[in-house]
Chains A and B, each alone.
Chain A
Amino acid sequence: MRPPTRVIAAACAAAALVLAAGVALRPVVPDLSAEEAGDPGLLDRARPLLAGGVHDRVSVVEIDGDRTRFAHFGADDHTDYEIGSVAKTMTGLLLADAVERGEVTEDTRLGALVELGDAPAADVTLAELASHRSGLPRLPSRPRDQARLALAVTLGGDPYRYDVDTLTDQVAAAGLSGRGESRYSNMGTAVLGQALAEAAGSDYRTLLRERVLDPLGMDESLLPVSEADLPEDATVGHTERGRRADPWLAHAYAPAGGVRSTPADMERYVRALLEGTAPGTAAMEPRWDDGHGGRIGFAWVVEDHGGAEVTWHNGGSGGFAAMVALDREAGRAVLAFGNTTTGLEPLALELLTGEAP
């Protein structure tokens, strides 16, 4: 028997409602922007390397001696990107600089700068923190922190909205595992940055601004503590789940990944590193095994690649990816930034060394 017309109409309405909601809430996966700008040769070399993965805006910077080339897809020299863990290299520079200033030594114990009582982490040294050999876990290990992190990652939120006191509590609660061996730790770099700020009688944002960003003329770089600090046209990141990512703000974990910067500013940063004029350049010297066949300095990883010794660090946040790779001997570097989570390491390494990783 045929259902009454009103029932058929209701069924059609139900289907239409579900479809409309589903279309409105659909995942959005961007395509690489067709708006290209910059050096035609670098654009031609970078384009095929962006064929895989998901990309939207991408900027590539190639430094070769005195010359710098930019290649932008949907961006320009002043587009802001979250640089994620590339910020750790700046914290590494701050440590090397603080040692040169005599404020701390590499062997200064964390407990001398941060109130940790008799927690295991009080005994680790600043050098161990900078080189990921402290034994601290990658992320806070308390169950409530783990749950918060998982929720934030799932929903595209900022997983690091902790204040310094909470970070201190997390570090105090953390056990050490494999101290002396390489074990990547966001928590370790975060507390290192806060400890250096304490040693300087400052806060991390001010310290980085005064000792690295300002001396290098990196005026477009910022550490936003709230969304109000972001530029009006701030670049929006895309999560791998097809959502807009919340910006990662510069709270207690800023030393591990709270910096936003632009291709122009990062060119200044890396050029100063290549020329040895950046404060704390000694941070780049490889001194310890990184456990993966390479060596590590203060945050910087050094590996042989394509016949060259490459000094590098990558970065990723909820909606951005970054890669900085230097061939110090040749005076060359390639930097890459994007507002999706697709890694840019293969692109940067291939452009730098001519060989696919």
Chain B
Amino acid sequence: MDPLDLLPYAVAVFLNGACALSACGVLVRARRDGGRHRLLDRWDALARTANTFFFLVLALLLTSWALVPVLVWYLVLALTAASAAAVVLRWPELRARGADPGAASRRLSAIGTLVLLAFPAAALLVVV
């Protein structure tokens, strides 16, 4: 088999896997009140949610669904929806902006990811 034939599968595993991992990460953090692995503030929640959506949209656009079962789409979609709900549930308890040294970088990360998300989202609009 030509190694290039495996490329569509590799792309599918990477993008759908990244989306699933990101969504699970948000779910876990949204449930925790303390410790390092929690949502630190609203910008942190926004950045991680945007990251999940970024991979979700890329997975939708770039996966060869002729080769990969569409069930995979519904799985990552369900995880993303659950993570979005978890963030909304947690939102009122989160500080608007942390006072720690990492707060500025989290805000930057959120804005950057939202800007990045705009590109595949625009492409998706073109496609549909």
* Residue contact B67 to A154, C-beta cutoff 8 Å: no
Tell me whether B66 is interfacial, beta carbon within 8 Å.
yes
Residues on the A chain within 8 Å of B89, using CB: 3, 7-8, 11
How close is A244's CB to chain B, nearest CB, in angstroms?
9
| Cross-chain pair count, CB within 8 angstroms | 82
Q: Which of A13-21, A64-72, A229-237, A287-295 contacts B (4 or more CB under 8 A)?
A: A13-21
**Of the residues B70, B84, B124, contact of A18 by C-beta under 8 Å:** B84
Q: Mark A1-39, 1 if CB is under 8 A from B, else 0.
A: 001100110111011101100110111010000000000
Q: Which of B40-48, B57-65, B105-113 contacts A (4 or more CB under 8 A)?
A: B57-65
* Residue contact B70 to A22, C-beta cutoff 8 Å: no
Residues of A in contact with B, size category: 20 to 34
**Of the residues B56, B62, B74, B85, contact of A12 by C-beta under 8 Å:** B85
Within 8 A of A (CB), among B53-86: 56, 60-67, 70, 73-74, 77-78, 80-82, 84-86
Instruction: Tell me if B's interface is mostly helix, strand, loop or mixed.
Output: helix
How close is A117's CB to chain B, nearest CB, in angstroms?
36
Residues on the B chain within 8 Å of A241, using CB: 61-66
CA distance in complex: A155, B121 (Å): 12
Tell me whether A240 is interfacial, beta carbon within 8 Å.
yes
Tell me whether A243 is interfacial, beta carbon within 8 Å.
yes
Taking A27-B60, A27-B63, A29-B66 as contacts, is the C-beta distance between A155 and B123 under 8 angstroms?
yes
Tell me whether A91 is interfacial, beta carbon within 8 Å.
no
Residues on the A chain within 8 Å of B8, using CB: 240
CA distance in complex: A240, B63 (Å): 9
CA distance in complex: A29, B64 (Å): 10
How close is B68's CB to chain A, nearest CB, in angstroms?
9
Residues on the B chain within 8 Å of A243, using CB: 127-128
Residues on the A chain within 8 Å of B86, using CB: 11
Residues on the B chain within 8 Å of A156, using CB: 127
Residues on the B chain within 8 Å of A23, using CB: 77
* Residue contact B65 to A240, C-beta cutoff 8 Å: yes
Tell me whether B126 is interfacial, beta carbon within 8 Å.
yes
Residues on the A chain within 8 Å of B73, using CB: 22, 26-27
Q: Mark A183-206, 1 if CB is under 8 A from B, else 0.
A: 000000000000000000000000
CA distance in complex: A129, B20 (Å): 48
Q: Specify which of A10, A27, A341 lies most central, judged by the most chain B CB atoms within 10 Å of its CB.
A: A27
Tell me whether A281 is interfacial, beta carbon within 8 Å.
no
Q: Which chain B residue has the least Cβ–Cβ distance from A53?
A: B66
Residues on the A chain within 8 Å of B74, using CB: 22, 26
* Residue contact A19 to B62, C-beta cutoff 8 Å: no
* Residue contact A29 to B65, C-beta cutoff 8 Å: yes
What residues make up the interface of B, taking CB atoms closer than 8 Å to A?
A: 8, 56, 60-67, 70, 73-74, 77-78, 80-82, 84-89, 91-92, 123-124, 126-128
What residues make up the interface of A, taking CB atoms closer than 8 Å to B?
A: 3-4, 7-8, 10-12, 14-16, 18-19, 22-23, 25-27, 29, 53-54, 154-156, 240-243, 340-342
- Give the 5 A-B residue pairs with the shortest CB-CB distance, closest first: A242-B65, A22-B77, A27-B65, A15-B85, A18-B81
